[in-house]
Structures are given as C-alpha cells and as structure tokens.
Structure 1
Amino acid sequence: MLTILFLKKRIPQLLLAFFLVQCSTIKKDNVRLQQLIPANALQKDVDFAHKKLQKLHPNLDYYISKENLNNQFDSVKKTINKALTPLEFYKKISPVVAAVKQGHSYVLPPQKAYTKRETKSITKKGIGPFSQFDFTYYNDKLYVVRNKSYNKEIAAGTEVLSINGIKPQELINEYSHYFSSDGFNTTFKKELAAKRFVSYFTIENDIKDSLHYVFKYNDSIKNITIKRFKLDSLDLKTKKIRQKKVVIDKAKQRILEKKKRINGFDKNTNTFIRELHFISKDSSIALLKIRGFKDGRFRKFYKMCFAELQKRKTKTLIIDLRNNGGGRLSEIVHLYSYLADSSSIFLKKTEVVSRASLFEGVYFNKGNAVVKTIKTLFSPIVYSYLLLTVHKEKDGKNYFDTETKPQPINEKAFKGKLYVLINGGSFSASSILSTNLKGSKRATFVGEETGGDYNGTVAGFMPIVKLPHSKLNLRIGTMNFTPFYQSPVHGRGIFPDVTIIPTLEDQIRGNDPELDWILKQQP
C-alpha cells in the first residue's frame, strides 16, 4: 500500500522525467542526422547488415543468387571511401538490401523526428502545402486529382512539373531503388509512387510551411506558391456554433463505436477497415471492401457478414483487395474458410533459418524497453514451444508448421459467384489469400497484377535491427510463407483474369471501371 501511495505521488515527476528523456533522445537523433560517420565504421555496418540477413532471413537466394548478393555487399563496401551522413549511407546500403527483392525487408530512411509539442505546434499552424492536394502517378507523371487548397484555380488533372525545383519523376525514380516488391513485378512501386513521393520529399527537405509548385494544364504553365492553410477566426467561430447545434444521439454513438471496434477503423482516413455493402436493391450483389487485415474483431465481423449474405440470399460477392497491404495470417485463413468451396490446405510448411531466428523475430521485433523486459521474462516458455514446433527436415532446412492441415469450410461459407478486385497495392497477406482463391479456381480476378508474389512472401515476425554505427534501422522478414497453390511463373504476382487499369480521367472523376465491368456481367 505504501509503495502504491509513493508511486502515485511520484507519477508527475516520472512523467516529466520520461518527457525530458524523450526530448533529449529526439534532439540527439536529429543532431546525428547531420554528422559524418567514418568510412571504416560504415563498412562495418555493411558487414553487420549482411550477417543479420543471413542469420534471420530464410530465403535470401530466391530472387538473387547467393554469389550475386555477396558481390553486391562487397561492391558497396568498396564505394565507401569517405565519411558519410546517415542519409548518404542509406542511399548506399538500401539498394543492396532491396536487391533481395523481398518487400518486407528493407532499410528505413533516416528522418528528422519531432516531439509531441513540436508536432502539435505544426498542426496548429494549419494544413500543410502537400496535404492540400490528392496526387496520382500516371504514365510516369505526377498529377493533381483533387484540389483541397485555398487556391481554386488549380484544376484536377493538372500535372506537377516541379516542387521547390525538384522534379517528381527524378525523386520517385531515385527512391524506387531503395525498396522492392516481392519479386519482379512493377505494379507495386507504381501504385505507391504518389503517396510515397511526399515522404521522399520530406526526407530530403524536412516539413515545409510553403511550397513553390510549377503546374502544367492544357499546355499552360503556372508558378504557384501554396502556403500552410489555417482556418481564420470567423471560420472557427462558425464551426463552433455549428458544433453546439449538433445534438449527439447517444444511442447512435454507441452503435458507431461498436461498429468501429468490430470492423476496425482508420482515424487517419476516417474509414472502416472492413465494410459490406449491398449494391443491388434485391441484395443479390454485395461488395466486401477490405483495406487491410489488421485491427478490429475480424472473427465477429466475418460471422456477421456471411450470416447476412446467407440471410439475404446474395448470389454474387465482390471482394475488393485493392491497396490492401496485408496484415494478420490468422485473419486470411479464417476468411478463406468462408470462401472456399471444399476443405483445403492453406499453406505449405513455413521455412525459418533456425529456432533462434524465429525467437529473435518474436521477441525483438517491436516494443519499448519495458515491453522487451516483460517478453524476456517469458522467453523460456516461448523458446520451449519453438523447440517442439520448429524442426529440421531431410532437405536440411528448418520449418515451422502453421496452417498446414486440411481445414473444413465454414457452415456459413458463401456458395455463389465470387469476384476479387486486385491491383499493385495488393500485397503480403492479401496476395496469399488471392493465390489460394486463384489456384483453387474459386474466383474471377479483375484489375491488375498484385504487388505480392503468387508463390509466397517472407514476413511473419519482423525484427527491426539497428546498425551499430549509422544507427539506421533494418527490417527483416523471418518466416517464408508458401501458399498451397504454386505458379510456374517465377517472381510475379497474381495476374487478373480480366485486366482493367483506371485511366487518369477515371481517377479524376472517381470512376471505378473494374467494378463497372463486373456489374455489367451480372444478369
């Protein structure tokens, strides 16, 4: 009791101490971004990264030969003959890690960090000059597809020639060498280009309160400076008045909060992660949009979802996996039980380098010092479990058995016609699910080639390893997930049965030609 009282009295001091330590750490990290690191220290980091990949990654030579990869690591060491900043070193080492062509393994770029106070201060200034537009990257050009800025003369469809003198194509092309998809497809990078361009620019130039754009529209070129936009006091007063007039319906609010917990909710985009809509009036056609296999109570959601489909006697189900970057293996296995038309095996045996590699992935992939300490206390139990589940087979490789036994279909499994919408942003778990649906010939696929490989991915527990001298973070996949169905085409994604790629005009107008094609096929 005395201990509890003592801690209560000390909570404000402890919080203040934690805040000061955090601020100090961020300040030191930001100073380090500008410091030069000796060449010999960086060469040691190259060797460290290479050894860590060999120790943890179970499929390094799937897309690139061991000899070729070793040569690339040796070559990059030879090019480091002077001191470099962390960003300069990042641009040296990340292409080598990307050469493995496993999308879950990459070096994280060094970037200026902000304290909560600094972030709050920036937010108070208003909407940033990037956030005032929605962009798309189409035919190797960056376009505005939606103008949310105070300058209304910038029309949707306007090409961005440069920002602060930087050409989008050049920055996008440069950074495309610093990460990879799974294998040899090109759709993954293309799909992410517009969204990641803002990150690339910020890495190089920090957050800006104003940006000088050079726009092109109908052969007319305009130079326009977009500043951080803050609502004026009149707008704020109007907003407050409107908020006061809104009467909160507590019953509806409870329903909404429950839906957020079950469906999953993304606060950044203000969208549900899983949504079921009935397109036709008679409920014969339904659209299940899944933005990611994360957050929310997925078992509860799918139970309610497929019960509703059965109740309404839905004949056609369209699953939208476009820009679904993946997530939990347990969720896609569970979802597949509602979609398969017979009992099935979801995965082949999962390869790992060793019990130790999987253990490191489980225990040191994320979390602060306190979390890691708690994990360490339970480490004997986990390692004992791994001793029983990870075993070496005749081929000399270690395997972890998960989802390798025949699974029955769910009693509420959907029996009707199934379509799946895919694009380059369909990656990781969404590709594994797509492989099994494609391989079993259960669904018709519409869109473009996925960003994930048909034949699997190396992901699972993914520890983030800090390189000792540059302090760059290296993320490494530790489990080689192999779907039951395989393709003879090496290093490519799931190809659609019907290829449809939205045009620039489609994106500007909000058209959905892939969905439209499916609807036209229905009786």
Structure 2
Amino acid sequence: MKNTFLVFLALSVLTGCNSVRNKNLFSEKMISEKNLKADVDYSYKKLRKLHPKLYWYISKESLDYKFDSLKSTITKPMTSVEFYAKISPVIAAIKQGHTTIYPLPRHLSKKERDAYAKKGIGPLSQFEFDIQNDKMYVIKNNSQNKSIKPGTEVLIINNKNTSDLIKTYTTRFTADGFNQTFKRNELSRNFSIYYTLENGIQDSIQYVFKHNDTLKNTVIKWSETDSLKTADKQRKKKEKTRNKAEKSKKNTRGYDPLTETYNRNLRFIEKDSSVAILKINEFSLGDYYEFYNESFVKMHRYGTKTLILDLRDNPGGRLDEIAYLYTYLADGTFIFMDDSQVVSKTSMLSGEYFRDSPFGIKIVKVLIAPVYYPYMFFKTHKKSDGNYYFSVETKPESTSPIAFGGTMYVLINGGSISASSLISSNLKGSGRAFFVGEETGGAFNGTVAGKMYVSKLPHSKLNIRFGLMVNSSNYETIVDGRGIFPDKVIIPTLEDRIEGRDPEMEWILQQLKVNN
C-alpha cells in the first residue's frame, strides 16, 4: 500500500483558481447534524455492500455499535475537518490498513504553489523524526538552525504536546489486524503529513525542544532558497534527462522525481560479486520486467551466492510485479496467491477504472470498456462455500531459468506492508529465505486490497477508500492478524538512527563472514 495521504495531497492541488477558492470555502462551512449522520450511514452502507471481509478483525455487533455511537455524538453542526476527526477512528477500528477515510486538505492555486516553491522547505519537513514510546525525537536536522542536535526530544508543537498529537493521529489510521509495528513506523516517517492535514500549511512552527534536560523554545520558518541555484539545478537536471542512457536507467529502476531517488537498486558488495543487495523502495514506477531480468542475469553470470532482499519501509504496489519477481526467487513450481474473495459477481466492476486517469487514458479506457467489464464479470465465480472469488496469479507457475538458487536474507520492518508483505509471506511460508528485522506492518494471512473503491461522502465530501479483493498467499499462519515475524529480531535504536547505522545489515554481513 503506497502512502495514500501523499497521493491525495498531490491530487488536491491540481485545480483551477475558482475551484480552489470554492473548495477552501467549503472546508470552513458548517454541515448540519442531519447531513453528517447521513454521511455516517452512507459510509457504512458502502462498506457493507462492497467490502469482502469487513468483519475480519471486528465483530458485526461491535462495528454496528461503533457506528451507532458515532451518530449519537453528533449533536451539532461541524466542519468537514471536525467530522473527519470523529469518523476516522471508527473506520480505523475495522483494523484493515487499506480501509481509510481522508479529510479535505487545503487546496492551493498555482500562484500559491509557486510561492511556496520559492520559499523552500516547510518548518515541519526540515526535520526527520523518530517516535519511540510515544515520544518524538529529531534524528536529522536539515534546518538552518544547527543548534538543534540529533537526539533532541520534541515536546511541544504550536502549543500542543507531541505525546497528545501522537495518540490522536494513531487513532486515525490502522494496520491490518493487531500488528505491533506499523503505526510507530508510519507516524515517524509521515508525521508532517498528518499534522498538515489537520492544521493546514504553516508559515512557521513554534517548537519546544528538550536536550540533556534543557528546554529550548525555537521558531522554525520556511527555509530560504537561492532561486538562481534552484533554477540552475533544474536546468542541469533537464540536460541530464535528455541523455538516452539516463532515460533508460530511470525507466527500468523507477525514478521518483519527488525524492530524486531510484525505486529499485542492485549492488554487489564483494569484489567477486558473491553477495548482492537488492533494495526495492516500492513495487511501482518503471519497467520492472527489464530491471529484474537484467539483475538476475548479472547474478547468474557472476555466480552470486547470497542475495539480501531489502523490503524495509516498502509500502507495496503492483501484484503483477511481485508475482514476476517471485519467479526469480522461488525454488520450484509455485502458486503465488489464493483465489481472492469478493462480495459478488459484480462488485469488482465498482473499482477505480476511470478514476484520476488523464484525459487520453480515459479515452482508451472507454474504447476497451466493452471488453474489460465482461472480462471482470465472467472471471468472478462462485465456489461451493457460497462465496464469490476473483482469480489472479493463482495458476501454477514455473521459476525462471536464471532464478537465484543461493542463500537469501530478507530485511523487513513495520513499514513493510501490502504487496511487500504478500511476497514475504510466500518466501517465509516456503522456507526460502531467512528474515531479519522486525514484524512486518502487513499481515501474513493477507489484506483486503487489489482493486480499490473510492467514494466521496455526499455532504462532508470526505473520501472513503477500501479494497474489493482479499489478497493472500498460498501459505497461512495460525496467528491471524499479525505480520511476518523475523527469524532474527533486530530493531534499530534511537542512537542507530541518529548515527546512520544499519544494525540489521551489519548482522547479516557478520553472519556471512562467520559462515565463510
């Protein structure tokens, strides 16, 4: 599962000036008690109608009670932001990571976006945070105020205790089931997103820091940037992009222009190429067929003996990509997924077929719709248990002729969710790899995702989003609602994060030296 808050924030600014003004005015509008209760009923009706495993981790009686109780607490008009604060914990109580509801962020006009781009980096984004035991620490300081040392605790943000903010935000999203690692990981990496969704873009932030028992009040503003240097950097980047080899590299490795990093990376750490590290940030972007083929051809040619697959902080992505990657990792013929349970013969037709597609892509989709919709309908079948199923990646597959046959380690943590957990459950269930790190954020026994459904609540305009398919591997554990557990538990300390140490990778490399 990719970070959907980022997706919605990005989409929210792509609007015209009048539309921007109207949408921002709506976010401040008071919505009647009657209409808010209608939105509660609407959201639960959609979930009951289309969600294939709504009561996986919560009973129907308990969820009915939560929705009824929510309506009883709505006793006066409120804004959509206030309503989001009330309904999001109820949606999170379903305990399924892909089942979420989104607030209305403040929309920006092109003029505002350009102004913020010139201002530089926001006052929250100038720090990298780590949350441990409901406390937030600075692990990297990218601000101009270098007196704030890594390891400094953040006590207060704009007169609000960070401990209270953490407790509040962790009620608004969830992992699959009863996972113990995802929330801390998610909020450590994306605290600024949750804060901005609630409070809007801030011109400055007043912090209270604590370092060595000393309190310090500090105001951080947008960082100033040299527009000439920025323009020059952009010019050089465009020139570099024109190079055909660089374009091909960006395509196969999946270049992310927002972070200026490559999505897939393969490197060898020994002179004889006996140890390879394959780091995959997420299963999206770029031509993965070419990348994986090139990578495993190299390992086959070099005689690589050990592969370290790094899936830490990988939020998932494409099912077809992980199924294809697995053909290079499995040790024999395999079935990658079980049949995906769905609600009905037609529920898959409710997915995001046209949503957020560019105009040209929508035209193509219109042309192939007469083929697409019948295909989805007839591919869904009813089994003897009375449930409907949709089959994808469920046929026996053979491994690639150049599949890796050596020793494999997999690095995982609380940020390993969705598709990265699905491929991990295959590797763990088959005994193909040795796992190092902490419990994955995604569940071993699968998740409700695949084709996604999005609906805008009629009055508050909040977006509710959830999966239409139960995606699970051909393996199952009796510990339902928990992730893939590592064979060797190693969790980086605050000091590790500050110093940039990688104790999980260090442990594996030490083991290789010992074994050799």
For residues 12-39 of structure 1, what are the alpha-carbon distances to aligned partners after superposition, in whole Å with 9 as ceiling and x for unaligned?
Answer: xxxxxxx997222221111111111111
- Whether 1:162 aligns to 2:152 is no
Candidates 406, 420, 440, aligned match of 1:416: 406
Task: Give the structure 1 partner of residue 129 of structure 2.
Answer: 135
Contact kept in structure 1, 2:409 and 2:436, CA below 8 Å: yes
Pairing 1:54-203 to 2, within 5 Å after superposition: 54-203=48-197
Pairing 1:190-269 to 2, within 5 Å after superposition: 190-231=184-225, 236=228, 253-269=243-259
Deviation at 1:115, TM superposition (A): 1.8
Aligned AA (1:507): R
Aligned AA (1:257): K
Alpha-carbon distance in 2 for matches of 1:218, 1:422: 33
Task: Give the structure 2 partner of residue 503 of structure 1.
Answer: 493
Aligned AA (2:128): D
Task: Give the structure 1 partner of residue 417 of structure 2.
Answer: 427
Alpha-carbon distance in 2 for matches of 1:266, 1:474: 27
Contact kept in structure 1, 2:131 and 2:137, CA below 8 Å: yes
Aligned AA (2:79): T
Range that drifts further, 204-213 or 335-344: 204-213
Candidates 387, 398, 410, aligned match of 1:397: 387
Alpha-carbon distance in 2 for matches of 1:25, 1:202: 21
Alpha-carbon distance in 2 for matches of 1:364, 1:243: 33
Deviation at 1:159, TM superposition (A): 1.0
Q: What's the TM-score once normalised by structure 2's chain length?
A: 0.92
- Whether 1:318 aligns to 2:326 is no
**CA 1:116 to 1:355, structure 2 compared with 1: closer, same or farther past 3 Å?**
farther
Alpha-carbon distance in 2 for matches of 1:155, 1:21: 40
Deviation at 1:250, TM superposition (A): 6.9
Unaligned runs of 5+ in 1: 1-18
Deviation at 1:381, TM superposition (A): 2.3
Deviation at 1:293, TM superposition (A): 0.3
Task: Give the structure 2 partner of residue 359 of structure 1.
Answer: 349
Deviation at 1:43, TM superposition (A): 0.8
Aligned AA (1:455): N
Alpha-carbon distance in 2 for matches of 1:410, 1:241: 45
For residues 165-198 of structure 1, what are the alpha-carbon distances to aligned partners after superposition, in whole Å with 9 as ceiling and x for unaligned?
Answer: 1222211210111111111112111101123321
Contact kept in structure 2, 1:366 and 1:464, CA below 8 Å: no
Aligned AA (2:468): T
For residues 87-115 of structure 1, what are the alpha-carbon distances to aligned partners after superposition, in whole Å with 9 as ceiling and x for unaligned?
Answer: 11112211121111111111012211112
**Percent identity (aligned):** 50
**CA 1:43 to 1:420, structure 2 compared with 1: closer, same or farther past 3 Å?**
same
Deviation at 1:45, TM superposition (A): 0.7
**CA 1:77 to 1:510, structure 2 compared with 1: closer, same or farther past 3 Å?**
same
Alpha-carbon distance in 1 for matches of 2:491, 2:280: 19
**CA 1:183 to 1:365, structure 2 compared with 1: closer, same or farther past 3 Å?**
farther
Deviation at 1:485, TM superposition (A): 0.3
Alpha-carbon distance in 2 for matches of 1:108, 1:403: 31
Task: Give the structure 1 partner of residue 509 of structure 2.
Answer: 519
Contact kept in structure 2, 1:364 and 1:464, CA below 8 Å: no
Aligned AA (2:434): T
Alpha-carbon distance in 2 for matches of 1:252, 1:121: 28
Contact kept in structure 1, 2:118 and 2:225, CA below 8 Å: no
Aligned AA (1:197): F
- Whether 1:332 aligns to 2:322 is yes
Contact kept in structure 1, 2:134 and 2:167, CA below 8 Å: no
Contact kept in structure 2, 1:171 and 1:197, CA below 8 Å: no
- Whether 1:472 aligns to 2:462 is yes
Alpha-carbon distance in 2 for matches of 1:248, 1:52: 46
Pairing 1:11-90 to 2, within 5 Å after superposition: 22-90=16-84
Pairing 1:445-456 to 2, within 5 Å after superposition: 445-456=435-446
Helix, strand or coil at the partner of 2:510: helix
Deviation at 1:227, TM superposition (A): 1.8
Deviation at 1:139, TM superposition (A): 2.7
**CA 1:47 to 1:313, structure 2 compared with 1: closer, same or farther past 3 Å?**
same
**CA 1:306 to 1:242, structure 2 compared with 1: closer, same or farther past 3 Å?**
closer
Aligned AA (1:322): R
For residues 276-325 of structure 1, what are the alpha-carbon distances to aligned partners after superposition, in whole Å with 9 as ceiling and x for unaligned?
Answer: 01011221111000000001100100000000001111100000000000
Alpha-carbon distance in 2 for matches of 1:55, 1:372: 26
**CA 1:323 to 1:397, structure 2 compared with 1: closer, same or farther past 3 Å?**
same
**CA 1:354 to 1:210, structure 2 compared with 1: closer, same or farther past 3 Å?**
same
Task: Give the structure 2 partner of residue 442 of structure 1.
Answer: 432
Unaligned runs of 5+ in 2: 1-12
Alpha-carbon distance in 2 for matches of 1:353, 1:399: 8
Range that drifts further, 165-174 or 476-485: 165-174
* TM-align CA RMSD: 2.3
Aligned AA (2:219): T
Contact kept in structure 2, 1:349 and 1:402, CA below 8 Å: yes
Alpha-carbon distance in 1 for matches of 2:478, 2:125: 43
Range that drifts further, 249-258 or 404-413: 249-258
Query: Which structure has the larger Rg?
Result: 1
Deviation at 1:455, TM superposition (A): 0.3
Matched residue pairs, number?
501
Alpha-carbon distance in 2 for matches of 1:185, 1:192: 12
Deviation at 1:224, TM superposition (A): 1.3
Alpha-carbon distance in 1 for matches of 2:131, 2:426: 30
Contact kept in structure 1, 2:253 and 2:291, CA below 8 Å: yes
**CA 1:206 to 1:21, structure 2 compared with 1: closer, same or farther past 3 Å?**
closer
Alpha-carbon distance in 1 for matches of 2:45, 2:292: 42
Contact kept in structure 2, 1:171 and 1:200, CA below 8 Å: no
Contact kept in structure 2, 1:345 and 1:405, CA below 8 Å: yes
